[in-house]
């Protein structure tokens, strides 16, 4: 039985694969840009027009980058029989929504979606191992 645990945020994802007592960890770095648009600039003439920051352009770009990141992660966990998803913030739930919308067969394999703060690779391994041991026992 192949179980996969994934800890993700916007910068990277740790994918822990557990199969026949063997554990493997893989890190996927995301390509989502960290952008901080600066406000518009003032005109040189008094009471002149101001430049406007196009937030919708940045938002749309981030949405496409997020979708590519999720597609990349889904391809890595495609052959799992059980999936546990962990991570801080809203990215975990956005990934679950992506699976619900675009990868229903994978969403059905998800056993757990929980918030978890930043962790080392060993802490993530232990979290995933303990979860699947308790699920397989019960």
CB 34, CB 72: distance < 8 Å: no
Q: How many domains does the chain have?
A: 1
Q: Give the confidence band of 137 by pLDDT, cuts at 50, 70, 90.
A: confident
For residue 45, being part of any structural domain is answered with no
For residue 61, being part of any structural domain is answered with yes
What integer pLDDT is reported at residue 1 of this predicted model? 80
Query: Is the pLDDT score of 24 beyond 90?
Result: yes
What integer pLDDT is reported at residue 123 of this predicted model? 93
Using only C-alpha atoms, the chain has a radius of gyration, in whole angstroms, of 19
Q: What is the b/e burial string over 89-116, where b = at least 16 CB atoms within 10 angstroms of the residue's CB?
A: eebbebbeebbeeebeebbebbeeeeee
Q: How confident is the model over 26-44, as pLDDT tens digits?
A: 999 998 887 766 655 666 6
Q: Which residues contact 80 (CB under 8 A, 6 or more apart)?
A: 2, 3, 4, 17, 106, 109
Query: Is the pLDDT score of 19 beyond 60?
Result: yes
What integer pLDDT is reported at residue 50 of this predicted model? 62
For residue 84, being part of any structural domain is answered with yes
For residue 28, being part of any structural domain is answered with yes
Query: Is the pLDDT score of 112 beyond 80?
Result: yes
For residue 62, being part of any structural domain is answered with yes
For residue 59, being part of any structural domain is answered with yes
For residue 43, being part of any structural domain is answered with no
For residue 49, being part of any structural domain is answered with no
What integer pLDDT is reported at residue 109 of this predicted model? 94
Nearest C-alpha neighbor of 135 from the set 64, 72, 127: 127
CATH of the domain at 59: 3.30.420.60
The residue segments making up the domain with residue 114 are: 2-35+54-137
Q: How confident is the model over 32-89, as pLDDT tens digits?
A: 887 766 655 666 667 666 666 667 888 888 899 999 999 999 999 999 999 999 999 8
């Amino acid at each position: 039985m192949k179980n996969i645990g994934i800890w993700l945020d916007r910068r990277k994802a740790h994918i822990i694969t557990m199969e026949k007592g063997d554990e493997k960890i893989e890190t996927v770095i995301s390509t989502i840009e960290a952008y901080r648009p600066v406000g518009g600039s003032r005109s040189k003439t008094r009471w002149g027009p101001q430049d406007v920051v196009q937030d919708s352009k940045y938002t749309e770009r981030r949405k496409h980058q997020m979708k590519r990141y999720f597609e990349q992660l889904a391809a890595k966990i495609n052959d799992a029989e059980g999936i546990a998803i962990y991570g801080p913030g809203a990215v975990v739930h956005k990934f679950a929504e992506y699976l619900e919308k675009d990868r229903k067969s994978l969403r059905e394999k998800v056993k757990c979606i929980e918030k978890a703060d930043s962790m080392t690779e060993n802490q993530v391994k232990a979290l995933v191992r303990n979860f699947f041991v308790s699920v397989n026992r019960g």
